[in-house]
Chain A
Amino acid sequence: MRFVLRRLGFFLLTLWVALTLNFVLPRLMPGNPALAAIANHKGVISPQALKALEAQFGLNTHQNLVAQYFRYLGDTATGNWGESLTTQPGNSVAHMVLDAIPWTLGLVGVTTVLAFVLGTVIGIVGAWRRGGHLDSLMPPVFVIMTVIPYFWMGLILILIFGVKLHWLPYFFTYNITLTPGLNWAFISNVLEHAILPAFTLLITTIGTWILTMRNTMITTLAEDYVRMARAKGLPGYRIMFDYAARNAILPNLTGFAMSLGFVVGGAILIEEVFNYEGVGYLLLQAVNNDDYPLMQALFLLITVAVLLAILLSDIAVAILDPRTRAAS
C-alpha cells in the first residue's frame, strides 16, 4: 500500500510539473507568441472568451503572476479549458478533445497492449530457444526495426497497401459517406480504416518489447531456481512460463510503462500521416494553426494518459511482486 501511495505522490508531482510547464512556457517565450494569435481573432470569438484566453496566457491582465497561476490551476481542474482559436473557432476545447479521445484510445491503446503482449511472448520463446533460428535472427532485425521512424513506416505501408495495391483505405477514421451508427457497415468500415495505422504502430514498437523481454529472460534463465526446476524434471513450458518468464516480466512491465510516453508521442505522427482524427492529429492541427489553448489542453491530456498508464502498471507490479510490498 505504501508503495502505491508513494507512486501516487509521484504521479501528482509530475502532473503539477506538466501543469506548470503549460503555464510558464508561453510566458517565457520571446514576445509571447500567443499574443499575436489571439489578437488575430478579435472578431471571430466572443469578447468573454477572448478575455478568458488573455487571462490564460497572461495578456492585458492586472493580476500578478501568482494570482494568474492559481486561476489557471482552478480553471484546468474544473474543465474550463477555453475556446479553440483557429482550428474550430469558438468551439469549446474540452469538447473537441473529448471527441478525439475514443479514436486514439481505440487505435493506440489497443495496439500498444497488443504489441506488448505479442512482443513479450516472442521474447520469451526466443530466449527459451537460445541459439535457434528465431533467436539468431532476432536481435539484429529488431534492433533495426526499433529505429524506423513511425511516420515513415506509415508512409511506406500507405505506398504498398494503399496506393499500389488498393487493398486498404488510408485516409480518415471512416468513409465519410457513411453515417456513424451502431451497424455492421459502419463498424467494419472503422475497423478497416484502423488496420494500416494499427499495423504501423505494431511493427515499429514490437521490436523493443521483444528485445527487452529476451534479454531479461536470458539473465533469468541462468538463475539457480531455474536450474533447480530443470533438475526436478519439470516440463519445459512450466519452467519457461511459471519460473523464468514470471520473474523476467516484472522489469519489462516497468520498462513498458516508462516508454509509453514515447509510444504516444510516435502515435501522434501516425495519426497525422493517416489523417486519423484522434488526439495526435488534433494536436498537430493546433500546432499548424497556432491554436494555443487547444495545444495546451492536448499536452495535458496526453501527459495524464501516460501517467495513468504508469500508475496502473505500478499497481500491477505491486500485485505481482511481493518484494515491492515488503521493500516499502
Chain B
Amino acid sequence: MAIMVPGDPGSVSEPGQATPTLLGTAGGLPAPAGAGITGVRSLRRMTRAVTSNRKATVGALLLLFFCLVALFPGVIAHDNPSAEIYPRHLGPSAQHLLGTTAFGQDLFAQLVWGTRPVLLIALLAGFGATIIAMLVGVASAFLGGAWDGTLGLITDVLLVIPLFPLLIIIASYLHGAGTTVLIAVIILTSWSYTARQLRAQALSLRSRDFLNAARVRGERSLYIIVVEIIPTMTSLLVAAFLTNALYAVLFSASLQFIGLGDPSSTSWGTMLYWAENAEAFQTGQAQWIIAPGLCIVALGAGFALLNYAFDEIGNPALRPVRSMRVRSVKNLK
C-alpha cells in the first residue's frame, strides 16, 4: 500500500519551470516524439522498447508469469485450496510444498489459486481507474475554462484526501462486501493521481497542428478526443494503467489483511489475514506469512519495474549511463 510509484511528479517535471502547486507538478511523461503516430504503431514501438530495456523485460516477464498462473492454476496445484482435509501445521514436504495451514489447507494450492483474484482486482481496478482518469484528464484539458477548473479541483481534492483511511471507512460501512464492491471502491477513489498526468499531456497536445487540422475539417469534439487525442497518449495510458493496477494490488491486499475483504475467498491478502489471526509466527509457520507477501512484492515489482522503465524510455536522461560510455569509447577507437 501507500506507495508512490517512481515516475511521480518530481521525477519528470522540468526543473527550470518547477511549478510547486499541485496543478503544475504532475508533468507525466514528456510528450512522445512525433505525437501524431497512431496507437498501433506506438504500441509496436513500446514492445520494442520493452525488449531492449532490462528493467522492462524483467517486469514484463513477472507479469506474464503471474498471468499464466492465474489462467491455469489447476495445472500447477492439484489440491483444493479451501478444503480443510489435511493434517494441520505441517511443515514443507513433497506432498505439501509449503506445508499446511492451521486449518489443514494446502498452502501452496492457496498461493497458486490466490493469484487469480489478485490479478483480477489489479486488471479491473487498474483499467477502470485509468478510464476515469483519461475521461477527466482529457475533458478538462480539451474543454478548458470552467470545466477545467472544476474537474481540476475535484482531482486535487481527491488527491490529497488520505485514500487508505477513506477506503477503510467505506469498506467498513459496507460490511463484508464482495470483491466487486472492493474493485468499485478502489476505482472511485484512486483515479485522481493519473488524471493529473493525463491532463498535463493532453494540454500539451491541444494546440498541435493535427488537432487544428481536425477542427478546421469541422470534426466534432467527441471525434477529435477519441480518434485524434487518445491514440497519441497510448504510452502514457499504459503507464497510468500500471500505476493504478499497482495501487489496486496493494490497497486490496491491505484491506484484506485487516479483514475488510471477503475472508472466505482465497487471495494473498486474506491468506495473510488468516495467518496473522492464527499467530503463524508463534506456531512456527513463518512460510504462511512469507510466501503470500513475497508474491505481492513480486507482482507489484512487475508493475513498478515496467512503469519505471517507461519513465526511462520517455526521458532518455534517466537511462543507465554505462552502455553510453562503452559506445563512446568504441567510437573513439
Contacts and interface: CB of A to CB of B under 8 A. Distances in A.
A321 interface: yes
Given A151-B254, A314-B20, A146 B5 contact: yes
Given A136-B322, A252-B10, A262-B3, A307 B260 contact: no
Contacts of B4: 146, 208, 212, 255, 258-259, 262
B3 A146 contact: yes
Given A25-B169, A269-B1, A261 B162 contact: yes
B250 A149 contact: yes
A144 B20 CA distance: 28
A140 interface: yes
Interface stretch (A82-90, A184-192, A228-236, A296-304): A296-304
Given A131-B322, A254-B20, A215 B311 contact: yes
Given A140-B55, A284-B258, A265 B297 contact: no
Nearest to A30: B174
Chain A contact patch, size range? 35 or more
Contacts of A144: 297, 301, 304-305
A223 B15 CA distance: 9
A212 B10 contact: yes
B11 A216 contact: yes
A302 B165 contact: yes
A269 B258 contact: yes
Contacts of B153: 13
A219 B317 contact: yes
A223 B16 contact: yes
B168 A149 contact: no
A167 interface: no
Interface in A292-323: 295-296, 298-299, 302-303, 306-307, 310, 314, 317-318, 321, 323
Interface residues of B, number: 73
A222 B321 CA distance: 14
**Interface of chain B, main secondary structure:** helix
B81 interface: no
B8 to A, nearest CB: 6
Interface in A11-34: 13-14, 17-18, 21, 25-26, 29, 33
A7 B21 CA distance: 8
Contacts of B303: 147
B161 interface: yes
A13 B158 CA distance: 11
B87 to A, nearest CB: 23
17 contacts: A18-B161, A136-B322, A143-B308, A147-B250, A147-B300, A151-B1, A156-B289, A159-B281, A159-B286, A216-B13, A219-B12, A219-B15, A223-B15, A261-B160, A264-B164, A287-B258, A307-B160
Given A208-B3, A223-B16, 15 more contacts: A139-B6, A143-B55, A149-B253, A152-B296, A155-B276, A205-B2, A208-B8, A261-B160, A261-B161, A266-B1, A266-B254, A273-B276, A283-B168, A299-B162, A321-B20
